[in-house]
Amino acid sequence: MDKDKLYELKAQASQLKPIINIGKNGITDTVVEEIKKHLKANRMIKIKTLKSSREEKDTESIANELASATASQIVEIRGNSFVLYK
């Protein structure tokens, strides 16, 4: 992905509301399937990690794991949320 496309996606991502919350159960098959479904419909989604999910892993490692599991790209990681694009 080139710089201009990434800049454009970040601008769009700032307007998104988190669709999925990752809670104390962490990344499950159900969560991955739900993310795949939303990515297919919307191409870009914002995901929020709750405090209970960050006890073992940080937001960046959760984002990397979900990006590889869903064959998507990380657009932005900011605080406790991140944006995936497919």
Domains of the chain in start order, with CATH, are: 3-85 (3.30.110.60)
Q: What is the pLDDT of residue 73?
A: 96
What does the mean pLDDT of the chain come to?
94
The model carries a pTM of 0.91
Is the per-residue pLDDT at 34 higher than 90? yes
CA dihedral 68, 72, 75, 76 (to 10 degrees): -40
Tell me the pLDDT tens digit for each residue of 37-54.
Answer: 999 999 999 999 999 888
Percent of the chain predicted with pLDDT > 70: 100
Q: Which two tokens stand for residue 75?
A: 């657009």
59-81: per-residue pLDDT in tens?
999 999 999 999 999 999 999 99
